[in-house]
Amino acid sequence: MDLRSWLGSRNGIAHRDDAADAGYTVSRIRSAIRSGAVRRIRSRWIALESAPIDLAGAAESGGAVTCVSLARRRGWWVPPDTDERLHLRMPPNGVVRVSDAHAHWGRSLAPSRPRMLETSVEDALADAASCFPVDQAVAIWESAVRTESVSLDSLRTVRWRTPAARRCLELLRPGTDSSLETVFHVRLSAWGVRLRFQVQLAGHPVDFLIGTHLVVQVDGWSFHSSSADRSRDLAHDAELRIRGYTVLRFSYAQIIYDWEHIERTLVGAISRGLHVAPLTSGGHPRF
């Protein structure tokens, strides 16, 4: 296999020691660089012109892609309106050589891997914890757990170094279906009300149950129900209301951009006792 094809099988960029291990001699690599077939990035990396910008930036700076930049690469949830700056985990003596990059300094949780341009999942999560508000950081963690098939028990064994990372671990809960639900859960976790998720009611799960009788359904950003799905949801909502539950539905845009409205609505509902079983005319709970 020629050097360009080999690089193409490795995201278009590789450490020169990996090329040597694959059988490409120093003279062959130098010849490819001189001919313009590949380019050299500092002294230790070679790449195609088509190499991903974030990986090339990490190689140029001697760091590794981390935080939200790694989240994008691996398909984790990314908070809306997050800027496109490259986030790099940098060694203590590193120099950021990419304009407008965001550097995460400090000792890594994982061992140093000089031939890798992506940081470990654990280090990326720790960096996200320090970079985002706690609700969004926990949502990134939740997405990583689902995407990477990392167990919560495994994360509990990590020696997290920052209070922010330990707080994310404390708030992380298995079982939510989406990062949007995680944002909602974290924001309500400090309210002191009983909050459960994915509870079976009237034959179907509900996203959240506050107290015993206030149901909250979260319609995510990709929520485009078919007519049959929408009819099923409306029928379930109606059945819950018949049984004495209050049902509230909130959209992605409301949760992300209009939280004050949601907060006012929930405060009003709880203040009116809609989260507890309704009373009969005799003053006793109906259920």
Q: Considering only 100-104, 241-245, 275-279, which range has the smallest mean pLDDT?
A: 275-279
**Average pLDDT rounded to a whole number, residues 110-119:** 92
pLDDT attached to residue 137 = 97
Neighbouring C-beta atoms of residue 184, cutoff 10 Å? 24
| DSSP reduced 3-state for 216 | strand
**283, pLDDT greater than 70:** no
pLDDT tens per residue, range 30-44: 999 999 999 999 999
What's the chain's average pLDDT?
90
Q: Considering only 54-63, 223-232, 238-247, 276-285, which range has the smallest mean pLDDT?
A: 276-285
CA distances from 144 to 67, 70, 74, 122, 150 (A): 11, 10, 9, 10, 8
Q: What class does CATH assign to 179-271?
A: alpha beta
Give the pLDDT band (50/70/90) at residue 279. low
**Average pLDDT rounded to a whole number, residues 238-264:** 93
**Average pLDDT rounded to a whole number, residues 160-180:** 89
pLDDT attached to residue 287 = 46
* Tokens linked to 157: 């064994």
**Average pLDDT rounded to a whole number, residues 197-215:** 92
Segments of the chain assigned to CATH 3.40.960.10 = 179-271
Task: Label each residue of 164-206 as H, E or C.
Answer: HHHHHHHHCCCCCCCHHHHHHHHHHCCCCCCEEEEEEECCEEE
CA distances from 75 to 78, 123, 147 (A): 8, 16, 7
**177, pLDDT greater than 80:** no
pLDDT attached to residue 55 = 97
Q: Considering only 207-211, 221-225, 227-231, 233-237, which range has the smallest mean pLDDT?
A: 221-225
- Nearest residue to 99 (alpha-carbon basis) of 84, 109, 113: 84
pLDDT attached to residue 95 = 85
Handedness of CA 192, 240, 261, 80 (dihedral sign): positive
CA distances from 90 to 58, 100, 125, 196 (A): 9, 14, 15, 40
- Nearest residue to 126 (alpha-carbon basis) of 183, 80, 64: 64
pLDDT attached to residue 107 = 87
* Helices marked H in the chain: 3-8, 16-21, 26-35, 53-61, 67-74, 121-131, 134-148, 152-156, 163-171, 179-188, 227-242, 252-257, 259-271
